[in-house]
Structure 1
Amino acid sequence: MTLTDEATSATQVVSAEQRYATELAFLAVHDDGPRPPGWLLTPRAVVTFICGSGEETLSLPAGSLPARDDLPSKLRVAPKFVGERALVERCVVTLAGERGLLLVGEPGTAKSMLSELLAAAVCGTSALTVQGTAGTTEDAFRYGWNYALLLAQGPSRAALVDSPVLTAMRSGRVARIEEITRCLPEVQDALVSILSDRRVSVPELAGTDEAQVAAVPGFTVIATANLRDRGVSEMSAALKRRFNFETVDPISDAAAETSLVRRQATAVVQRAGAGFAVDDAVLEALVTVFRDLRTGRSGEGWDVERPGTVMSTAEAVQVAASLGVAAAYLPSGDVLDLLPGHLLGVVRKDDPADHGRLLGYWDGPVRRRAEDGSAMWRRLWDLRESLR
């Protein structure tokens, strides 16, 4: 067991750079082409890391010296993000040009995961992160102070506490800002000068070498924002101009979404100390319901009244994980019987009227599929009373 393996086994959530350390080290050796300043991988290798190598098994060049003795000579890179390769390529090009990247989309579309993967592949760490909230202050983007040292010594470099953004500027790495539109406008605007001038002034240290912190090559920012949050704290036009916007859409392919839900839910249940034992048919039904309610139209072409809440893939993963944990630790008959109750919990999250919309879905597509002879959908139709 390696040191990384030991750290992994002792934590609930593992960063991308830890989880995929072997792939990152392999790709750094496999593709030794030109790379932007400060980048761990070439832009092409970053795309491969995120989108996978497909059916191709990659081999290390003959005579290359691996960065680690335990690196395999051949490796097939699995995809980590389900989405358009062109989107990932545009994101990589934006970062290579040291321009800010803003990932926007509905909640649960893996914007944060894509941000984390990009940061891990580009600079080797995804940890330089600011979580945007209504309580986030300008210090989170600039700097703060160790007040004990400040009172004892006065303003000094030792008393200065770098923000994740300032740390990224000093080291030429990627800073991540989650939910940027949750921050107040005056806090957001602290980024305007950072992204344009590429420096931070520290007036308290005037007359010293630390009065100006200039970004070194490689520094850039990845931010995320939910479309549902528009109007919470609208970004200024000046700040918008300093980002390239990329929209992350929900997964378009049902089979790909089902596979992702299975994979992610399996990982959650395994962390809970159990094996994932939810039937594929149940997962397909779960994803079908989510997709129908999300789009307002069933796969058969029937109209569906959309609930106000977001029926995201991330929510589907949580429901599948809950079903898996229940099957492992509280077995009580068919796990399919638990599905309506979990769906109701998701749908009623924002608007109580969505309860009626879920019942309407049961009276529409669920009933019609049951009438067409599907045993699984007949069982779900029989469970309609559990939704009341």
Structure 2
Amino acid sequence: MSENGITTAGGAHGGSGEALRPHAEVAFAHELAALAAADDRPRPERWRLSPWAVATYLLGGTLADGTVITPKYVGPRRIVEVAVTTLATDRALLLLGVPGTAKTWMSEHLAAAVSGDSTLLVQGTAGTPEEAIRYGWNYARLLAQGPSVDALVPGPVMRAMAQGMTARVEELTRIPADVQDTLITLLSEKTLPIPELGQEVQAVHGFNLIATANDRDRGVNDLSSALRRRFNTVVLPLPATPEDEVDIVARRVAQIGSSLRLPPAPQGMEEIRRVVTVFRELRDGVTTDGRTKLKSPSGTLSTAEAISVVTSGLALATHFGDGVLRPGDVAAGILGAVVRDPAADRVVWQEYLETVVRERDGWKDFYRACREVGA
């Protein structure tokens, strides 16, 4: 790491404790090393682990030497197996799902396990240019020397092709359609032409690409049929059960809290279960017991938002309370997550408070806290 804190692509800070959010290959380096040492199965060319070991890294397990591999993804095993198998072929992988279904999280960990580097990343936005996917130029050298290899600035995808690595494209459907289509030749022919130099970069074995897309963004920049055919699509579902979602939230809050130097909060699981219950009931439009139909707010109320609400509550309890996570610490965060449309969503929230929360045993403190922040 340089004195100004900048690290090169694929590099890492001096230790996982220095970076606020270490890359997956740094944060879980000990697990990846243990898997590599124990992995005696066939590996595709330039893969750090076999497909079996990659799936074990994602889903968790215990190795023969007693090393515990923590789950990175809680969900159907078959989804992970299909995703990993896709990367072992010449087909690119598209992870599709509603917000908060761990698309980016899975993408990062797949790249870390397969290539040992999750940083070859293109972040999709409405302003993403073609150069971000292909290559750009060092304009000082370009003006001085004209087009040359030295003036070329390869993008993450070009580097992945040349090195046999896994590239990532986040939020593919947010990228303008004409920029998206630069991927078609790249994925079908496995080559990236550089017409200015009369050259091309051909992908070597080990190269593949993982893209993520939010299926609520349909109509923003829909993928062309030609581009969609270049991908195997894996749809990531919302957590199947409340227990799964509570487990996901608890694990991620513990990881984030550790990086923020927040101490574990006593009684935190009770509030995590409460947040997950509220989000699932409003998301599903029915109470857990199935007896009461509910209106759903305009927001997604995703697992990622539940993690954010609990993490914020943990920070409140630590810095402005006694360290015990209580209803008052999560009430404001829940209100902010639910009420996105001040008019319609506030009505939905008030009805839920009065018809469900107010009457639920053991939720009196939560009801009062929600009334106070919503007053």
TM exceeds 0.5?
A: yes
1:250 pairs, out of 230, 234, 238, with 238
Is 1:319 aligned with 2:319?
A: no
Residue by residue, what CA displacement relative to the aligned partner does 1:296-336 show, whole Å, maximum 9, x if unpaired?
12211021211110101111111101111111100179721
Corresponding residue of 2:287: 298
Find the partner of 1:331 among 308, 311, 321.
Answer: 321
Instruction: Name the CA shift for 1:334/1:6 in 2 (closer, same or farther; >3 Å).
Output: closer
Query: 2:104 maps to which residue?
Result: 112
Q: Residue 266 of structure 1 contacts residue 275 of structure 1 at CA under 8 Å; is this kept in 2?
A: no
1:171–1:384: structure 2 CA closer, same or farther, 3 Å change rule?
Answer: closer
1:133 pairs, out of 125, 138, 142, with: 125
Cα distance 1:284–1:34, how it changes in 2: closer, same or farther (>3 A)?
same
Given candidates 210, 228, 244, the residue that maps to 1:240 is 228
Structure 1 residue identity aligned to 2:70: A
Tell me the CA shift for residue 6 of structure 1.
Answer: 4.0
2:275 corresponds to 1:289? no
Instruction: Structure 2 unaligned segments of length 5 or more: list them.
Output: 1-10
In structure 2, what is the Cα distance between the partners aligned to 1:42 and 1:5?
Answer: 27
Distance of 1:41 and 1:270 partners within structure 2: 28
Rounded Cα–Cα distance in structure 1 between residues aligned with 2:173 and 2:180: 8
> Aligned to 1:218, what secondary structure does the other structure show?
coil
CA distance 1:352–1:173, change in 2 (3 Å): farther
Confirm whether residue 181 of structure 1 aligns to residue 173 of structure 2. Answer: yes
**Percent same amino acid at aligned positions?**
43
Provide the residue aligned with 1:363 in structure 2: 354
Give, as a single letter, the amino acid of the residue that structure 1 aligns with 2:365: R
Separation (CA, whole Å) in 2 of partners of 1:350 and 1:335 = 26
| Cα distance per residue 1:232-261 (max 9 Å; x no partner) | 111111001111111111111212211221
The partner residue of 2:38 within 30, 36, 48 is 30
- Structure 2 CA distance for partners of 1:318 and 1:21, relative to 1, 3 Å: same
Q: Structure 1 residues 198, 286: closer, same or farther in 2, change over 3 A?
A: same
1:294 partner amino acid: R
2:192 is the alignment partner of 1:192:
no
CA distance in 1, matches of 2:325, 2:71: 32
Structure 1 stretch 343-352 or stretch 19-28: which is displaced more?
343-352
Superposed CA offset, 1:137-176 (max 9, x none): 1111111100111111111111111010000000111110
Alignment counterpart, residue 63 of structure 2, candidates 47, 58, 64: 58
Aligned AA (2:43): R
Aligned length: 361
Matched, 1:41 2:18: no
State how far apart, in whole Å, the 2-side matches of 1:19 and 1:98 are: 29
Which position in structure 2 is the counterpart of 1:70? none
Residue 58 of structure 1 aligns with an amino acid whose one-letter code is L
Provide the rounded CA distance (Å) in 2 between the counterparts of 1:273 and 1:27. Answer: 28
**Paired letter, 1:338:** D
SS in 2 for 1:94: helix
> Secondary structure of 1:246's partner?
strand
Whether the aligned pair in 1 keeps the contact of 2:20 and 2:260 (CA below 8 Å) is no
C-alpha offsets along residues 333-358 of structure 1, whole Å, 9 cap, x if unaligned? 97212333221111123564111111
CA distance in 1, matches of 2:327, 2:266: 9
- Asked if 1:273 corresponds to 2:273, the answer is no
In the other structure, the counterpart of 2:364 is: 378
Contact 1:278 1:335 (C-alpha < 8 Å) held by counterparts:
no
Q: Which residue of 2 aligns with 1:214?
A: 202
Q: Are positions 1:261 and 2:249 aligned together?
A: yes
Map of 1:307 onto structure 2: 297
Whole-Å Cα distance in 1 between the matches of residues 132 and 305 of structure 2? 29
TM-score (norm 1): 0.89
1:168-209 alpha-carbon deviations (Å, 9 max, x no partner)? 000111110000000000000000010001101111112xxx
* Alignment of 1:340 onto 2:328: no
